[in-house]
């Protein structure tokens, strides 16, 4: 009987995983983001904005903005101080360059690694993708948006712009946020992810 229940539970878990569509996974991500911003203890929102927060505005989910990029790791990358919205200058290095096709155009983005975070167990594989695009200042935050990533095993990396989020500075000026380097200024509209 126990074996039957175990098998049933396993099949249920497998079927649930298979049943979750890409759309579902992004909705889940958006809900988690909204839950985080609704949490009084964790939210970067001001007390005033927290009281009226009903959830973020997102572009419609579009799987065309989930791209598989070729990933070329940087060799002997020189650490540099990334500019922020304050005097803080965190140390980053270019971990690699992602090249991909989007709407018929070939685009490139630098992907960075934070020197301090890579020393921690939790974030040792964390990569950081800050970028700007032609939606900034109109449909999206003027200072650009971010995507969190993990170090890939091979020579490709998935960039999912549907998971693009705003820096905390978009909501609260007390935070110090990285400013996307000019190399990551995309000459296209990225109509995916979070809006203003």
> pLDDT tens digits, residue range 125-139?
999 999 999 999 999
pLDDT top residue among 7 and 64: 64
| C-alpha to C-alpha distance for 146 and 139, rounded to whole angstroms | 15
78-115 confidence digits (pLDDT tens): 999 999 999 999 999 999 999 999 989 999 999 999 99
Per the CB < 8 A criterion, the answer to whether 101 and 64 are in contact is no
Residue 69: name the closest of 129, 24, 25, 18 by CA.
129
3-state secondary structure labels for all residues of 173-190: CCCCCECCCHHHECCCCC
Q: What is the pTM of this model?
A: 0.88
End-to-end CA distance of the chain: 54
Query: Where does the chain have alpha helices with state H?
Result: 2-19, 22-38, 47-52
| CA neighbours closer than 13 Å in the CB half-sphere of residue 177 | 23
Tell me: the pLDDT tens digits for 25-56? 999 999 999 999 999 999 999 999 999 999 99
What pLDDT is attached to residue 3? 40
Averaged pLDDT, 168-181 = 96
Binned at pLDDT 50, 70 and 90, residue 7 comes out as very low
């Amino acid at each position: 009987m126990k074996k039957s229940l175990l098998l049933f539970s396993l099949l249920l878990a497998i079927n649930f995983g298979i049943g979750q569509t890409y759309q579902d996974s992004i909705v889940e991500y958006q809900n988690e983001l909204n839950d985080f911003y609704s949490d009084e203890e964790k939210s970067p929102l001001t007390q005033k904005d927290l009281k009226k927060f009903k959830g973020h505005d997102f572009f419609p989910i579009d799987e065309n903005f989930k791209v598989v990029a070729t990933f070329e790791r940087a060799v002997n990358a020189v650490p540099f101080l990334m500019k922020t919205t304050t005097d803080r200058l965190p140390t980053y290095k270019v971990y690699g360059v992602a090249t991909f096709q989007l709407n018929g155009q070939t685009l490139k983005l630098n992907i960075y690694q934070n020197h301090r975070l890579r020393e921690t167990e939790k974030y040792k594989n964390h990569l950081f993708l800050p970028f700007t695009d032609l939606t900034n200042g109109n449909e999206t935050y003027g200072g650009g948006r971010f995507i969190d990533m993990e170090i890939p095993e091979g020579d490709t990396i998935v960039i999912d712009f549907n998971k693009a989020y705003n820096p905390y500075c978009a909501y609260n000026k007390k935070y110090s946020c990285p400013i996307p380097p000019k190399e990551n200024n995309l000459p296209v509209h990225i109509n995916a992810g979070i809006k203003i």
